[in-house]
Amino acid sequence: MGDSLQVIQRQNDRTADGIHIPDLRLLTTCQPAKIIDHGDLLEFDVQEQGDSLLILSQQFHRDWQASGQTASGWTALNTVPVNDVFQGVLLTGEVHKVRIQFLPYVRFAWIAHAFWLLMLTGLTYQAIGMRFAEFAGSAWASRK
């Protein structure tokens, strides 16, 4: 992942479909420190400066989930598109650390595969058991 930027948020920048910032040079910004970068898990130290916006230099995707650490523990934060492209995280004044993680539904697709594999195994076992019972029954009947 690339760089990030923390921006003091203005209320008139918010729209129904995200945040639009016409000129970033006019806003107060600071550079958050990246602590962890595991590709699908990022953690940043941010400055407690009131309501602000953390902008990441990556394309927005709705499956990125953010949480912020405050004095009372970790709380969920909202992610928003910035200028219809970039990933943004809305921060409150108490947040001093941000963790953002990519959690798509596809990650849990193995559960459906395991279910159907168990069903197929059970049906196969049942079919083989029935054939064996028929074979054993006919062999037993021919001996009498």
DSSP string, 22-83: S-GGGS-EE-PEEEEE-SSEEEEE----SSEEEEEEEE--TTEEEEEEETTEEEEE-EEEET
What residue numbers bound the domain in which 90 lies?
A: 4-106
Q: 95 and 121 share a domain? A: no
Q: 115 and 102 share a domain? A: no
pLDDT in tens, 57-88: 999 999 999 999 999 999 999 999 999 999 99
* pLDDT of 140 above 60: no
More confident residue, 120 or 6: 120
More confident residue, 135 or 56: 56
Q: 125 and 67 share a domain? A: no
Q: 11 and 77 share a domain? A: yes
Q: 44 and 31 share a domain? A: yes
Furthest-apart CA pair in the chain: how many Å? 99
- Which of the four pLDDT bands, split at 50, 70 and 90, describes residue 143? low
